[in-house]
A and B are shown apart, each in its own frame.
Chain A
Amino acid sequence: MSASMTGAQIVLQALADQGVEHIFGYPGGAVLPIYDELFQHDRLKHVLVRHEQGAVHAAEGYARSTGKVGVVLVTSGPGATNAVTGLTDALMDSIPVVCITGQVPTHLIGNDAFQECDTVGITRPCTKHNYLVKDVDQLARVLHEAFYVARSGRPGPVVVDIPKDIQFAKGTYTGLSNSQHKSYRPPKEGDSAAVEAAVELMANAKRPVFYTGGGVINAGPAASERLRELVRLTGYPITSTLMGLGAYPASDKQWLGMLGMHGTYEANNAMHDCDVMICIGARFDDRITGRIDAFSPGSKKIHVDVDPSSINKNVRVDIPIVGDCDHVLNQMLAAWKKKNPKIDKPALKTWWKQIDTWRARNCLHYKKRDDVIMPQYAIERLYALTRGKDVYITTEVGQHQMWAAQHFHFDEPNRWMTSGGLGTMGYGIPAAVGVQMAHPDSLVIDIAGEASVLMTMQEMSTAVQYDLPIKIFILNNEYMGMVRQWQELLHGGRYSHSYSEALPDFVKLAEAYQGVGIRAEKPSELDDKILEMIETPRPVIFDCRVDKHANCFPMIPSGEAHNNMLLGDDVTEQDLENAITEQGKVMV
């Protein structure tokens, strides 16, 4: 299909042809022609956010909960620079987003014009790819290509910067048929010899462990299905990164819980002591490995990743397999079934026995109290009271995020939206807006901290405007909890600027936004209040007053190995003081 249209019409036509239903955006001078077109469109639903960072996080939540590409529309200059945090977040967590930015007219570029910034220059290192469109006849191709690049291979954010004169200019629209990039072809199938070798290694393992990540989620729900089949066929234990939660059901007996800095004792010890590690769609991030020269010293490692640059970056692996998780898992399944290997059952039994002794350590245990709500207890109750409901969880960043990962359990992929790589405080509310937009009838909860949530609180207004009944469940301890915890561990308890001496009354704040505010202060009232929140068909801010001094355990102190964890219930003052070595202190 080709037809003559204005640049703005081309944008809308391209979005429609890409099957886009929702756009998250904020208007401004340099995108007015596109907004004018949008005014006459009824198929595309535009969600007006309150800050451009929120637009990108909303698109991320939308993308991660649906598997589709999230779409953002913002203006030039401050519109684009405000989007940078969201774009970087999407890049770090491999979330497919197309962000259209307006730009000053072509003849003013480089002129320090009003609301001009070098958008492609600024966003080059924080996008997977970006474009400045200077020819209206290229606009349709570039837009289709942008969607292709965003969702192919390792997904990521793509910026298309469109000067205002290009939006007005008339050009030719070209349809979807030629939307592939001329040379960018990410790998799909893994090398079959490597897959064979991997299966051989797996079959002979005595102490195997699956270590999976966000790549499995990104590869689509089918990849999770295949992972489940493979893990069950082998009978091996499985752990996952923060980003990979839900790919394997947390209720299954082979599940060890999350690994890493705040992962479970059993998962981290299994990683340390295993003889074969099967890493699928995870990237040996520093939150996972801890001290790199003490990371799983005795194991042979298999690494499946669609991005070759993730392989051998931090940790040397023995069998690298470059390919899409879904395809490679399929290949591994087929190879395993064909081989029908005799696994070393006695060894596996001993291994599980060992794992059970670690499990018996009950590392997520905490002391319950009658007088104050423990944050872990709040999450536990939230989890228990939302069973049987269609739930999506987003989070902010900090202690509450880790408690949510530990105590809220996921049995399905795409249900858990969190900022892993970049660790962006303020991610949760806008992400919840995006998720709720995609799933209007579901229960969408942002498990939040009172500090993070204030970074993007304005998006509450968006939720109210679009009748999005998101629930903002704040674990309010009046501290930047994770900062306070690190100050306790690293800096002798000198809590430099980590206490918020003035906080809003969150109930009144909710009311000011025309939402509903609920407060819980005692464990005895928690259940009723949570049920009240769930039953409220409007946006809710839930101010859950929790213990101010609770720390998040277990924890691998920075610079330490997996088998040197701090466990919550037996940490002494002395342990805390000595937990982090001089060498560990310089790390983040």
Chain B
Amino acid sequence: MAQPGSAYSLETHKEKSETHTMSVLVDNEPGVLARVIGLFSGRGYNIESLTVSETEHEAHLSRITIVTTGTPMVIEQIKHQLDRLVPIHSVTDLTVTGNPIERELAMVKVAGAGEKRVEALRLAEAFRAQVIDASTEHFVFEITGRQSKIEQFIVLMQPLGLVEVCRTGLAAIARGPERM
């Protein structure tokens, strides 16, 4: 029985889901990440990717980059709900402000021998991935770029002896000279 669980969801179901990248400036204090994550789980929002690090040491500010999906009404709610948290300084929806630069770093471990090994190295060069660890049996590649590029690289490595992948999640910044 496809019934809405509550009165709230009646309308929003009709709207299409969008993906947005948000940049959130927060006080780097204990528990701040838990507040953000708790907000998302508590209110049933999605997190596609989340990256966090202190970016301004003097001011003890961290920048969190969140990729989330939802209907326009939910996206608007997410922004306001985040902004309501006391240690949050600002919430910027980079998708709205316009075509942000988005990058992710991945480390890709590939093991193998012979032609497969040579092919892996050749592809890595084509993708401008660096070799950051190697033995006669394996490579670890470091690759940076848009998520689609990383996805593609990982798919190509699959038949060439892909062992494991580690990804940082998305970091994003607005274009142009202005500060967020």
Q: Do the beta carbons of A293 and B11 come within 8 Å of each other?
A: yes
Interface of B with A (CB < 8 Å)?
3-8, 10-11, 27, 30-31, 34-35, 38, 42, 73, 76-77, 80-81, 83-87, 89
Q: Do the beta carbons of A291 and B31 come within 8 Å of each other?
A: no
Q: Do the beta carbons of B11 and A286 come within 8 Å of each other?
A: no
Interface of A with B (CB < 8 Å)?
120-121, 124-125, 128-130, 132, 149, 181-184, 286, 289-293, 307-309, 311-314, 316, 558-559, 582-583, 586-588
Known: A292-B10, A586-B3. A309 touches B38 (CB 8 A): no
Closest B residue to A307 by beta carbon equals: B84
Q: Do the beta carbons of A309 and B7 come within 8 Å of each other?
A: no
24 inter-chain pairs at a CB distance below 8 angstroms, sorted by A residue, are A124-B34, A125-B38, A125-B42, A132-B30, A182-B27, A183-B87, A183-B89, A184-B86, A289-B7, A290-B7, A291-B7, A292-B7, A292-B10, A308-B84, A309-B77, A309-B80, A312-B76, A312-B77, A559-B7, A582-B3, A583-B3, A583-B4, A586-B3, A586-B5
Residue from A124, A128, A182, A316 in contact with B38 in the complex, judged by beta carbons closer than 8 Å: A124
Instruction: Give 9 closest A-B pairs by Cβ, nearest first.
Output: A309-B80, A129-B86, A308-B80, A309-B81, A184-B86, A183-B89, A292-B7, A286-B7, A293-B10
User: Which residues of A sit under 8 angstroms from B35, Cβ to Cβ?
Assistant: 124
Question: What is the distance, in angstroms, from A237's C-beta to the closest C-beta of chain B?
Answer: 25
Known: A292-B10, A292-B11, A587-B6. A309 touches B83 (CB 8 A): yes
Q: Do the beta carbons of A149 and B86 come within 8 Å of each other?
A: yes
Q: Do the beta carbons of B31 and A128 come within 8 Å of each other?
A: no
User: Which residues of A sit under 8 angstroms from B84, Cβ to Cβ?
Assistant: 307-309
Known: A183-B89, A286-B6, A587-B7. A312 touches B31 (CB 8 A): no
Q: Do the beta carbons of A183 and B77 come within 8 Å of each other?
A: no
Closest B residue to A154 by beta carbon equals: B84
Residue from A130, A308, A311, A314 in contact with B8 in the complex, judged by beta carbons closer than 8 Å: A314
Question: What is the distance, in angstroms, from A285's C-beta to the closest C-beta of chain B?
Answer: 10
User: Which residues of B sit under 8 angstroms from A130, Cβ to Cβ?
Assistant: 31
> How far apart sit A286 and B83, CA to CA, in the bound complex (Å)?
23
User: Which residues of B sit under 8 angstroms from A184, Cβ to Cβ?
Assistant: 86-87
Question: What is the distance, in angstroms, from A283's C-beta to the closest C-beta of chain B?
Answer: 12
Known: A124-B34, A125-B38, A307-B84. A183 touches B7 (CB 8 A): no
Known: A132-B30, A309-B80, A312-B76. A286 touches B86 (CB 8 A): no
> How far apart sit A587 and B8, CA to CA, in the bound complex (Å)?
10
> How far apart sit A124 and B87, CA to CA, in the bound complex (Å)?
13
> How far apart sit A26 and B7, CA to CA, in the bound complex (Å)?
40
User: Which residues of B sit under 8 angstroms from A289, Cβ to Cβ?
Assistant: 7
Closest B residue to A121 by beta carbon equals: B34
User: Which residues of B sit under 8 angstroms from A121, Cβ to Cβ?
Assistant: 34
User: Which residues of A sit under 8 angstroms from B83, Cβ to Cβ?
Assistant: 308-309
User: Which residues of B sit under 8 angstroms from A583, Cβ to Cβ?
Assistant: 3-4
> How far apart sit A291 and B31, CA to CA, in the bound complex (Å)?
38
> How far apart sit A583 and B27, CA to CA, in the bound complex (Å)?
44
User: Which residues of B sit under 8 angstroms from A132, Cβ to Cβ?
Assistant: 30-31
> How far apart sit A559 and B8, CA to CA, in the bound complex (Å)?
11
User: Which residues of A sit under 8 angstroms from B87, Cβ to Cβ?
Assistant: 129, 183-184
User: Which residues of A sit under 8 angstroms from B30, Cβ to Cβ?
Assistant: 132
Q: Interface centre among A132, A309, A313, A316, by most B CB within 10 Å?
A: A309
Closest B residue to A120 by beta carbon equals: B31
> How far apart sit A455 and B38, CA to CA, in the bound complex (Å)?
30
Closest A residue to B5 by beta carbon equals: A586
User: Which residues of A sit under 8 angstroms from B27, Cβ to Cβ?
Assistant: 182-183
> How far apart sit A314 and B8, CA to CA, in the bound complex (Å)?
6
> How far apart sit A293 and B42, CA to CA, in the bound complex (Å)?
25
> How far apart sit A583 and B4, CA to CA, in the bound complex (Å)?
8
User: Which residues of B sit under 8 angstroms from A558, Cβ to Cβ?
Assistant: 7
> How far apart sit A293 and B4, CA to CA, in the bound complex (Å)?
13
Q: Interface centre among B6, B7, B83, by most A CB within 10 Å?
A: B7
Q: Do the beta carbons of B89 and A292 come within 8 Å of each other?
A: no
> How far apart sit A481 and B93, CA to CA, in the bound complex (Å)?
48
Known: A125-B42, A184-B86. A286 touches B8 (CB 8 A): yes
Closest B residue to A128 by beta carbon equals: B86
User: Which residues of A sit under 8 angstroms from B76, Cβ to Cβ?
Assistant: 312
Question: What is the distance, in angstroms, from A280's C-beta to the closest C-beta of chain B?
Answer: 19
Question: What is the distance, in angstroms, from B167's C-beta to the closest C-beta of chain A?
Answer: 28
Question: What is the distance, in angstroms, from B92's C-beta to the closest C-beta of chain A?
Answer: 15
Question: What is the distance, in angstroms, from B71's C-beta to the closest C-beta of chain A?
Answer: 12
User: Which residues of B sit under 8 angstroms from A316, Cβ to Cβ?
Assistant: 73
> How far apart sit A480 and B180, CA to CA, in the bound complex (Å)?
54
Residue from A290, A311, A313, A588 in contact with B6 in the complex, judged by beta carbons closer than 8 Å: A588
Question: What is the distance, in angstroms, from A340's C-beta to the closest C-beta of chain B?
Answer: 35
Question: What is the distance, in angstroms, from A215's C-beta to the closest C-beta of chain B?
Answer: 15
User: Which residues of B sit under 8 angstroms from A307, Cβ to Cβ?
Assistant: 80, 84
Closest A residue to B86 by beta carbon equals: A129
Q: Interface centre among A183, A293, A307, A583, by most B CB within 10 Å?
A: A183
Question: What is the distance, in angstroms, from A151's C-beta to the closest C-beta of chain B?
Answer: 13
Closest A residue to B80 by beta carbon equals: A309
> How far apart sit A316 and B84, CA to CA, in the bound complex (Å)?
20
Closest B residue to A583 by beta carbon equals: B3
Known: A182-B27, A309-B81, A309-B84. 17 other contacts (CB 8 A): A121-B34, A124-B34, A125-B42, A128-B86, A129-B86, A129-B87, A130-B31, A132-B30, A184-B87, A291-B10, A312-B77, A559-B7, A586-B3, A586-B4, A587-B6, A587-B7, A588-B6
> How far apart sit A559 and B80, CA to CA, in the bound complex (Å)?
27
> How far apart sit A371 and B150, CA to CA, in the bound complex (Å)?
80
> How far apart sit A129 and B31, CA to CA, in the bound complex (Å)?
11
Known: A121-B34, A309-B81, A312-B73. A292 touches B86 (CB 8 A): no
Closest A residue to B89 by beta carbon equals: A183
User: Which residues of B sit under 8 angstroms from A559, Cβ to Cβ?
Assistant: 7
User: Which residues of B sit under 8 angstroms from A588, Cβ to Cβ?
Assistant: 6
Closest B residue to A149 by beta carbon equals: B86
> How far apart sit A129 and B89, CA to CA, in the bound complex (Å)?
14
Known: A184-B86, A293-B11, A309-B80. A124 touches B3 (CB 8 A): no
Closest B residue to A584 by beta carbon equals: B7
User: Which residues of A sit under 8 angstroms from B11, Cβ to Cβ?
Assistant: 292-293
Closest A residue to B85 by beta carbon equals: A129
